[in-house]
Structure 1
Amino acid sequence: MKKFKLICVLLAAVMLTAAAVSCGSSGKKYVVLEENFGSEQYGIGFRRDDNALTLAVQEAIDAMIADGTAAKISTDWFGEDKVLKDQQFPRAIENTGDDSLQKILDKGEIILGLDVGFKPMGFYDDAGNIVGFDIDLAKEVASRLGVALKLQPIDWNSKEMELSAGNIDMIWNGMSITPERAENMNISKPYLNNRMVIIAAADSGIAAKADLSGKKVAVQAGSSALDCINAEPDIAATFTISEYPDNPTAFLDLKAGRVDALVVDEVVGLNLISEDK
């Protein structure tokens, strides 16, 4: 695990100084384009009227930021404190006195829905345990609330349905904040920055968005990466979009040459490259 985290840190540093990321001793295998599909922020999603629960979780996170716990968790995973401070809710959340928090306290458990293919935010380790940066944050929040944390793998494309149906209590797995999501659900204050990057084979000749014309581009179904692509219709119209259930599967098709590029969250994309053998 320590080796993995160190690799992530080194790769992140390389991204700041170059448009390409190298992997393997044989030279460059993939490039991460300097041009991307935009910057976003991650937040935690709750049901639209679960104000008491939303505020309680945010209060715990704010306390973790203040006492240094959040910084320690971030440093353990990324080698530095990436947690955002002094943020505001995407949409104001008022204390309405609803029973959403009390229901969690009464049952003694809070259910977190996640995509277990979203490493390093949430994923299965070699022992079959679900671990990750978001998971460590959520475990600490649950502990401070005095309840158990249940990790529930879900189809990311159905996350809103799982939440509204009551199958999960929150979506916490690198979920990008968008205006539509902020309108349809409660969302925490932003806690991490993110970019939607384009990854291609080093010998593909793809160096900019314009080079995607006529190509096949992989993306996870129901993801913010797909939303970001569709937010640029003139560009999106020039290539074919291939949707996948998760990012690791999409990356496998990039490796196999079945697609020409992958659009993905930066932190996940860097991890996929670092672990490619």
Structure 2
Amino acid sequence: MKKFLLFGLVLTLFVFLAGGTASALSTEDIAKASALEEILKRGELRVGLEAGYQPFEMQDKKGNIVGFDVDMAYELGKAIFGKGGEKKVKIINTAWEGIIPALMTHKFDIIMSGMTILQSRNLKVNFCDPYYFIGQCLLVNKKNKGKIKSYKDLNKKGVIITSKLGVTGQFTAERLMPKATLRLFKTEAEGALQVANGLADAFIYDEPQVRVFAAKYKKTCFGIFEPLTYEPLGWAIRKGDPDFLNFLNNFLRQVRGDGRWEKLKQKWMVDYIEKVAREQ
């Protein structure tokens, strides 16, 4: 009996030690399978975004995709490849409803598209540390000046609110203004235009984008910029890639610390919006 017990203990110890070795090998395999290794071998960083979320990503008059996230992607390219690395960044414009599935099927390496870090999304992807914080704000038609001072004034029958389908603007309107009629559109531009043309009372969306629309439609609209939500924005990558996640978080610390992040914030969140207002 004692011999059987001793054999069992030895066998258990062997399995434990073997498992530890397998675990170490598994960790090495995970490192080799990192998207970061794939990017280096390929010689190209592929970035997914939807070019309609001003001033994070949009198309300029020449059709080029520009914005805060785009410039950050170029900085990330330089961090990965060194000098000239921005030329090795490929921007892939993708419809919002398909952007996470496209990441999962390896159409690109990372989503850099002003994505709010939601726990429901976190079940599908991993997020790096937040790189920007926003809140939902309101674009209101001037016919309501003096009548609408907060979201509470919109929560009643007969009021028409617009937003984009499948984003936190929609979720916030449904939660805080359930009595109003909510109309959802494929793009944020369509929703804002409804308010500018007097076909809706208010548009609810992310604060930077609302500031752009308030500048663009300053003759017919005004903004209410007291945030209704607290929303960290993060870049998304596929699950199971700690090396790439670590690289991104360290990259964010670096650009925040050396002033590049602040320069891009000034360029897109201040200077660009002021330019839009001057051109109207």
Percent identity of equivalent pairs: 24
Structure 2 counterpart SS, 1:184: coil
1:253 aligns with 194
CA distance in 2 between partners of 1:176 and 1:128 (Å): 26
Kept in 2, the 8 Å contact 1:194–1:267? The answer is yes
The alpha-carbon deviation at position 96 of structure 1 amounts to 4.2
Q: CA-to-partner distance for each residue in 1:52-98, whole Å, 9 max, x for gaps?
A: xxxxxxxxxxxxxxxxxxxxxxxxxxxxxxxxxxxxxxxxxxx9423
Kept in 2, the 8 Å contact 1:157–1:223? The answer is no
Structure number with greater Rg is 2
CA distance in 2 between partners of 1:196 and 1:133 (Å): 19
Which one-letter code corresponds to 2:107 in the other structure?
N
2:9 aligns with none
Structure 2 counterpart SS, 1:238: coil
- For normalisation by structure 2, the TM-score amounts to 0.60
Kept in 2, the 8 Å contact 1:119–1:132? The answer is yes
Which one-letter code corresponds to 1:222 in the other structure?
G
Asked if 1:115 is matched to 2:50, the reply is yes
Specify every segment of 5 or more residues in structure 1 that has no aligned partner in the other structure, as ranges: 1-94
The alpha-carbon deviation at position 229 of structure 1 amounts to 3.0
Q: CA-to-partner distance for each residue in 1:249-268, whole Å, 9 max, x for gaps?
A: 21111111222110110001
- Of the three residues 114, 121, 139, the one matched with 1:199 is 139
Q: CA-to-partner distance for each residue in 1:152-210, whole Å, 9 max, x for gaps?
A: 11111222122222222211121111122223211010011101002211322222223
CA distance in 1 between partners of 2:109 and 2:195 (Å): 34
Q: CA-to-partner distance for each residue in 1:124-177, whole Å, 9 max, x for gaps?
A: 112221111111111010122115111111111222122222222211121111
1:222 aligns with 166
Asked if 1:125 is matched to 2:60, the reply is yes
- Of the three residues 123, 129, 141, the one matched with 1:189 is 129
The residue correspondences of 1:67-78 to structure 2 (distance < 5 A) are none
Backbone CA RMSD of aligned residues: 1.8
2:254 aligns with none
CA distance in 2 between partners of 1:220 and 1:168 (Å): 24
- Of the three residues 212, 222, 242, the one matched with 2:183 is 242
1:92 aligns with none
Asked if 1:167 is matched to 2:111, the reply is no
1:156 aligns with 96
The alpha-carbon deviation at position 228 of structure 1 amounts to 2.9
What is the total number of aligned residue pairs between the two structures?
180
Kept in 1, the 8 Å contact 2:49–2:94? The answer is yes
Asked if 1:267 is matched to 2:194, the reply is no
- For normalisation by structure 1, the TM-score amounts to 0.61
1:211 aligns with 153
- Of the three residues 153, 170, 178, the one matched with 2:118 is 178
1:105 aligns with 40
CA distance in 2 between partners of 1:162 and 1:175 (Å): 15
Which one-letter code corresponds to 2:52 in the other structure?
G
Kept in 2, the 8 Å contact 1:114–1:154? The answer is yes
Structure 2 counterpart SS, 1:111: strand
Kept in 2, the 8 Å contact 1:156–1:223? The answer is no
Kept in 1, the 8 Å contact 2:139–2:214? The answer is no
Which one-letter code corresponds to 2:210 in the other structure?
G
Structure 2 counterpart SS, 1:112: strand
CA 1:96–1:165: 2 relative to 1, 3 Å = closer
CA distance in 1 between partners of 2:102 and 2:90 (Å): 14
Kept in 2, the 8 Å contact 1:113–1:171? The answer is yes
Which one-letter code corresponds to 1:127 in the other structure?
K
Looking at secondary structure, tell me which structure has more helix per residue.
2
Q: Which has the higher contact order (CA 8 A, sep 6+)?
A: 1
Structure 1 counterpart SS, 2:143: coil
CA distance in 1 between partners of 2:181 and 2:212 (Å): 25
CA distance in 2 between partners of 1:227 and 1:257 (Å): 23
Kept in 1, the 8 Å contact 2:97–2:166? The answer is yes
Which one-letter code corresponds to 2:77 in the other structure?
A
Which one-letter code corresponds to 2:153 in the other structure?
D
